[in-house]
Amino acid sequence: MVMLYAQELRLSVVSFVVVVALIVTSALQRPGGDAARSARFGIGRPATAQEIARWDISIPPDGKGLPPGSGNARAGREIYRLKCAACHGNTGSQGPYARLVGPMGDTSRVKTIGNYWPYATTIFDYTRRAMPYNAPGSLSNAEVYSLTAFLLAANRVIDSATVIDARSLPAVVMPAKAFFVGDDRRGGPEVR
């Protein structure tokens, strides 16, 4: 009796799984693409142009898309102390998380902004997008420019009196830029 019940239960479970798989497969194979599926299932909606623009904030090496504003290392030091030092140490060279400041020209040690990053605009882009860790995207443009100036000055890439803005930041030449090779492939899989 128990053996018969177990076999019936197993058959019921297998039948249920097969029916669900057939329903899902059938729904996914219907014409109409993702938008039709989304409308049919009531999940999601197409993103608006404004929503896409709000998230399309990448800053390439040439600085295209950098927002208005400016900052300097002195203001950046204070912002760093308040919003960054807990993770990166008082000077950026201790941690406990990623070290940001390190010895110049020594690529055998820990990779830092000064000895590894090829473009200064990456500092602005990454900081604006992902920092501080507990509140990513919460920094104003002026705060990000100031933090970028502080980190560049701490790594001795710029003078501490230099003002960083949309025009001056792309002009900063990083010490490690010479170690990177641009992707010049064409006509096949291209990395952009």
101 and 15 part of one domain? no
**H-type helices in 84-160, by residue range?**
85-88, 113-116, 121-130, 141-154
75 and 128 part of one domain? yes
User: Could you tell me if residue 8 is inside a domain?
Assistant: yes
62 and 39 part of one domain? no
109 and 15 part of one domain? no
Q: What is the pTM of this model?
A: 0.71
User: Could you tell me if residue 84 is inside a domain?
Assistant: yes
User: Could you tell me if residue 185 is inside a domain?
Assistant: no
Query: Alpha-carbon distance 97 to 76, whole Å?
Result: 19
42 and 73 part of one domain? no
Give residues with Cβ within 8 angstroms of 117, minimum separation 6. 123, 174, 176
In terms of residue numbers, what domain contains 64? 54-179
Whether cis (ω within 30° of 0) applies to the bond prior to 103 is no
Query: Both ends of the chain: CA-CA distance in Å?
Result: 66
Check which CATH number belongs to the domain holding 84 and give it: 1.10.760.10
Whether 176 and 117 have beta carbons less than 8 Å apart is answered as: yes
14 and 38 part of one domain? yes
Per-position pLDDT tens, the chain of length 192: 555 555 676 667 777 777 777 777 766 665 555 556 556 678 888 899 999 888 888 999 999 999 999 999 999 999 999 999 999 999 998 888 888 998 765 555 788 999 899 999 999 999 999 999 999 999 999 999 999 999 999 999 999 999 999 999 999 999 999 888 877 777 776 655
User: Could you tell me if residue 17 is inside a domain?
Assistant: yes
152 and 81 part of one domain? yes
Residue 89 exposed, middle or buried by CB count within 10 Å (0-12, 13-18, 19+):
middle
Query: What six digits make up the tokens of 88?
Result: 């990166």
User: Could you tell me if residue 192 is inside a domain?
Assistant: no
User: Could you tell me if residue 97 is inside a domain?
Assistant: yes
User: Could you tell me if residue 64 is inside a domain?
Assistant: yes
61 and 155 part of one domain? yes
Q: How many domains does the chain have?
A: 2
Residue 29, number of CB atoms within 10 A of its CB: 7
Residue 184, number of CB atoms within 10 A of its CB: 6
